[in-house]
Amino acid sequence: MSYNYIELISLVLLAIGCFFILSGSLGLIKLPDVFSRIHAAGLIDTLGSGFIVLALIIYSGFSLLSLKLLLIPLFLIFTSPVTGHAIALFAHESGYKPKGKNKK
Amino acid sequence: MAKLNKDSLKTLSFITYFIILFVFWFILSGYLKSLLLFFGLVSVLFVFWMSYRAKALEEDSLPLKIILRLPFYWIWLFKEIFKSGITTTALIWNGKYSPQLISVKASQKNRTGIANYANAITLTPGTVTIEVDKKTFLVHALSKKLSEDLQTDDMNKVITDLDK
C-alpha cells in the first residue's frame, strides 16, 4: 500500500465534498419549509461542488483541462444565487410564510 | 484609469470584453490551427455583435474598475462561504435551527453593486435574499448567529469598497 501524495490529497478533498453533499441532501429532507430548504441546496451548490472540482483539478494535474474545470464553479457562482433567489421570491410572492422557531 | 474620458473608457471596455470572449473560446476548444482560430474569431465577433445589439455593453454591466480586484474578492468570498457553510452543516446535523426574517441595508451606489451584494448573501449558505426593495433586502436566515453575522455589515463594506 503506497499512496501517491497527490492521490491522497484529492481523496481527502473528495471525501469533504461528499460530506457536504450528504449534509445538504439530509437538510433538504429534514428542514421544515421551502425557505430553509434553499439553504441546504445552496450548501450542495457551493461547498459540495467546489471541493469536488478542486479535488479533480489536483488529481488531473495542471493543464487546459483544469482551466475548463475551473469554469464550472465560476458559472455556479453566478447561476446558483439566481435560482435560489427566484424560488424564494416566488414562494414569498404567493403568500407562503416562513415557519418560526417551533419545530414541526 | 480615472482620467480617461467616457468614449475611451467605452472603447477600453469593448476591447476587454473581446479579449475575455476569445480567451473563453480558446479555453473551451484548445485548438491552435490557424483555420480553426479564424473560425473562433468569426464566432467571437458574432457574439460580440449580438451583445452590442442587445445593449449588454453599457458601462454599468461591464465595470472595468473592479476587474483587477475581482480575484481577491473571490478568495475572500470563498472564505466566507466556507465559514458559514460549516455553521449551516452543524445546524443541519444537530437540528438547532431557528429560521428568521431580517432586513438588511445596502450602501452600494449602482445597480451592479446591489446585485453583487444580494448574490453574495444568497451564495453564503444559511442566508437567502428574498426581496430587493431599492436599498433594503429582506433576508431569510437559518439561525440567530447567521443573521447577526450579516448585521455586523462586514460584507456590505467589502462590496462597497470593491466599486470605489
Per-residue pLDDT of chain A (104 residues; tens, 9 = 90+): 556 888 889 999 999 999 999 999 998 888 888 888 888 888 888 889 989 999 999 888 878 888 888 888 888 888 888 888 888 889 888 887 777 654 43
Query: How near does any CA of chain A get to the CA of B5, in Å?
Result: 30
Please report whether residue B118 resides in a domain: yes
CB B55 within 8 A of CB B137: no
Same domain, B77 and B158: yes
**Residue pairs spanning A and B at CB distance below 8 A:** 104
| Distance separating alpha carbons of residues B74 and B124, to the nearest angstrom | 12
Which residues of chain A have a Cβ shorter than 8 Å from any chain B Cβ?
20, 23-24, 26-27, 30-33, 35-36, 38-40, 42-43, 46-47, 50, 64, 67-68, 71, 77-78, 80-82, 84-85, 88-89, 92, 98-101, 103
Same domain, B102 and B40: no
Q: How much is the pLDDT for A100?
A: 63
- Residue B59 grid coordinates: 458601462
Q: Do A23 and B126 touch (CB under 8 A)?
A: no
Q: ipTM exceeding 0.90? A: no
Same domain, B78 and B153: yes
Query: How near does any CA of chain A get to the CA of B64, in Å?
Result: 18
Q: Which domain holds residue B88?
A: 70-162
pLDDT per residue of chain B (164 residues) written in tens, 0 to 9:
455 677 777 788 888 888 988 998 998 888 888 999 999 999 999 999 998 888 777 766 666 777 778 888 888 888 888 888 898 898 888 888 888 888 888 888 777 788 888 888 888 888 888 888 878 888 888 888 888 888 887 888 888 887 76
Same domain, B100 and B135: yes
Please report whether residue B22 resides in a domain: yes
Question: Best residue in B140, B147, B150, B159 to probe A by mutation, most A CBs within 10 Å?
Answer: B140
| Distance separating alpha carbons of residues B38 and B44, to the nearest angstrom | 10
Sorted by where each begins, the domain ranges of chain A are: 5-93
Q: What confidence tens digit (pLDDT) does each residue in B107-150 have?
A: 887 777 888 888 888 888 888 888 888 788 888 888 888 888 88
Q: Determine whether A53 is exposed, middle or buried from the number of CB atoms within 10 Å of its CB (0-12, 13-18, 19+).
A: buried
Q: Do B138 and A85 touch (CB under 8 A)?
A: no
Number of domains composing chain B: 2
Buried b / exposed e along B27-40 (16+ C-beta atoms within 10 A): eeeeeeeeeeeeeb
Same domain, B108 and B27: no
Q: Do A32 and B99 touch (CB under 8 A)?
A: yes
Q: Which helix (H) or strand (E) holds B147?
A: helix B144-151
CB A98 within 8 A of CB A35: yes
Same domain, B83 and B112: yes
Q: What does the DSSP 8-state code read for residue B152?
A: T
Same domain, B49 and B93: no
Which residues of chain B have a Cβ shorter than 8 Å from any chain A Cβ?
27-28, 30, 74, 77-78, 81-82, 85, 88-89, 92-93, 95, 97-101, 118-120, 122-131, 138, 140, 142
Partners of B140 in the β-ladder: B101, B128
Q: How much is the pLDDT for A103?
A: 44
Query: How near does any CA of chain B get to the CA of A19, in Å?
Result: 9
pTM: 0.81
Same domain, B107 and B145: yes
Q: What does the DSSP 8-state code read for residue A99?
A: P
Query: How near does any CA of chain A get to the CA of B121, in Å?
Result: 8
Q: Do B99 and A85 touch (CB under 8 A)?
A: no
DSSP letters, B97-142, are: ---EEEEEE---SSHHHHHHHHHHHHHSTTEEEEEEETTEEEEEES
Q: How much is the pLDDT for B60?
A: 63
Same domain, B145 and B79: yes
Same domain, B139 and B110: yes
